[in-house]
Amino acid sequence: MTQAVDPVTLEIIRGSLASTIRDMELLMERCAMSPFIKEKKDYFVGVFDTRGRIVACHISGSGPGMLAPILRTYPLETMRPGDVYWFNDPYLSDGAVQHHQDMVFVVPVFHESAVIAFTVTFGPVKALDTGQSALAFSTCLRKAASSRPGTTAFVLNSIRLIVGPSPRCTVAVV
């Protein structure tokens, strides 16, 4: 049985989700070093439900299918606050990711110890075309993880990037 939502509550939720998307976009643009993100706006941010459906985003052809590789590999019951998932394989996402430089980061959102949603960011990391930059990227991730006791970071074909006890585990790629 579906419970009806009154129009005022619906509008408050819609406005809150739209505000969340705007904040995510501003954060991507402010933190990005790449002109592809800052100037060309070549990125995607969104909120997804636990079945991988888009709940909120600006219109984009990249959104659908973004969460499928995570949900196929990691059951919801195994996710913990502080987990961050990463992938860049176009074949894993059935085309949602179109180039190996396009990186997808996914963070589960929890309420009362249960996953209720996911936040997703997607954008090109063009510096990974050279081995030296890839090494710097990997080193940066290891440093970010080692700064938080009890966390592990690795960059492999695996998808789970950071497994941590903290719901505020953050990775900053410079």
Place 41 in a pLDDT band, splitting at 50, 70 and 90: confident
pLDDT in tens, 49-77: 999 998 988 766 567 778 888 888 889 99
Q: Which pLDDT score, from 0 to 100, does residue 94 have? A: 74
Q: Domain residues of the chain, as ranges?
A: 7-163
What backbone torsions phi and psi does residue 158 show, to the nearest 5 degrees? -65, 165
3-state helix vs strand vs coil in the chain, percent to 5: 35, 25, 45
Q: Which amino acid is at 147?
A: S
CB of 33 closer than 8 Å to CB of 174: yes
Task: Say whether pTM exceeds 0.75.
Answer: no
Closest listed residue to residue 48, CA positions, set 25, 20, 28: 20
Architecture of domain 7-163: 2-Layer Sandwich (3.30)
Q: What is the mean pLDDT of residues 2-15?
A: 89
Place 124 in a pLDDT band, splitting at 50, 70 and 90: confident
DSSP codes joined into one string, 9-64: HHHHHHHHHHHHHHHHHHHHHHH---HHHHTT---EEEEE-TTS-EEEESS-SSST
Residue 30 clears pLDDT 60, i.e. is over it: yes
| Calpha distance 170→151 (Å, rounded) | 11
Closest listed residue to residue 121, CA positions, set 84, 153, 90, 147: 84
DSSP codes joined into one string, 93-150: TTTSS-STTEEEEEEEEEETTEEEEEEEEEEE-GGGGSHHHHHHHHHHHHHHHHTSTT
At residue 74, the 3 state secondary structure works out as coil
Q: What is the mean pLDDT of residues 19-33?
A: 85
pLDDT in tens, 88-113: 777 777 777 777 677 888 899 999 99
Q: How far is CA 127 from CA 34, 101, 139, in A?
A: 9, 8, 14
Name which of 4-13, 37-46, 87-96 the model is least confident about: 87-96
Place 171 in a pLDDT band, splitting at 50, 70 and 90: very low
